[in-house]
Structures are given as structure tokens and as C-alpha cells.
Amino acid sequence: MFAAYCTTHETEVLLTERRITGIRVEADTVEVSFVCWCGTEGSFSDPRITVRPTATGASAAHLARPSDHVLGRRQLA
């Protein structure tokens, strides 16, 4: 689940990942499009976090491997 601002409700609403209609990844931001429970379409963007290698040369490869968490909800399979 995630919180998003709905212009019809004029407040943040709690939505499930099924309400996401699109995700666009840019060089410096991630934009998420959604549809509120009331039918209003909206979007928000967050800056992307840049992971820099550590002094030992470690990379962010661990971020690309499969995870047992999906959007904050524990995956059962």
C-alpha cells in the first residue's frame, strides 16, 4: 500500500498497488501514476537514490537480486 494525494478528496488516500496505472523511470526521478478509489487519476514523483560504490569497491548489485518483499507486503511465494 502507498499514500497518494487525491485532488477530489483534497487529502492523502491509502491505495493498494493495484491502483498503480504506470511507473516511469527517468535519470533522476521515478514517476508513479495511479487511480484513486473515487476514479480520479493522479501521479507523483520521487527523486531516485543514487548508490555509489564504497571505498572497498562494493557495488549495488545486491539491489538487483530477487527480493521477498513486494511494495511493502511480504510475498508468500
pLDDT of residue 54: 55
Question: What does the domain layout of the chain look like in residue ranges?
Answer: 2-71
pLDDT in tens, 24-58: 998 888 999 999 999 999 999 988 765 555 555 55
pLDDT of residue 67: 47
Question: Phi-psi bin for 25: left (phi > 0), alpha (psi -120 to 50), beta?
Answer: beta
pLDDT of residue 76: 45
Strands annotated E in 1-77? 2-6, 11-15, 20-25, 29-35, 41-47, 69-70, 73-74
pLDDT of residue 69: 43
pTM score above 0.75: no
